[in-house]
Amino acid sequence: MRVLLSTIGSRGDVQPLVALASAITALGHDVRLCVPPDFQTWIAGLGFAVTPIGPELRSFTRAAAPAVPPSAEQRRQLAEATVAAQFTTVAAAAETCDAIVAATALQIAARSVAETRRIPYFFTAYCPIVLPSAHHAPPPLPPIPGEPPVSGGHAERWARDAERFTMLFGPALNAHRATLGLPAVSDVRAHVFGDTPWLAADPTLAPWTDPSVEVFQPGAWLVRDDRPLPRGVDAFLDAGDPPIYFGFGSMRAPQDLGRVMLDAARAVGRRAIVSRGWADLAATDGDDCLTIDEVNQQALFRRVAVVVHHGGAGTTTTAALAGAPQVVVPQMYDQHYWARRVAELGVGVAHAPALPTVESLRAAIEEARRPPVAAQAQTLAAAVHCDGARAAAERVLRASSSPQ
Q: Looking at the predicted structure, is the pLDDT value of residue 159 above 80?
A: yes
Residue 292's beta-bridge partner residues? 275
Task: Write down the pLDDT at residue 231.
Answer: 95
What is the pLDDT confidence band of residue 283, given thresholds at 50, 70 and 90? low
What lies within 8 Å, CB to CB, of 194 at 6+ separation is: 111, 121, 122, 123
Q: Looking at the predicted structure, is the pLDDT value of residue 64 above 70?
A: no
Task: Write down the pLDDT at residue 65.
Answer: 57
Strand bridging mode 121-125 / 99-103: parallel
Torsion of CA 281, 284, 286, 292, to 10 degrees: 20
Write down the pTM of the prediction.
0.92
Number of H helices and E strands in the chain, helices first, is: 15, 12
What's the pLDDT tens digit per position in 351-363?
998 889 999 999 9
Three-state DSSP string of 69-107 = CCCHHHHHHHHHHHHHHHHHHHHHHCCCCCEEEEECCCC
Q: Which domains does the chain have, with CATH numbers?
A: 2-223+386-401 (3.40.50.2000), 231-381 (3.40.50.2000)
CA-CA distances (angstroms) from residue 402 to 15, 99, 175, 177, 280?
Answer: 28, 11, 31, 25, 47
Give the C-alpha separation, 57 to 239, whole Å. 37
In the chain, the percentage of residues whose pLDDT exceeds 70 is 95
Give the C-alpha separation, 350 to 2, whole Å. 41
| Higher-confidence position of 183 and 255 | 183
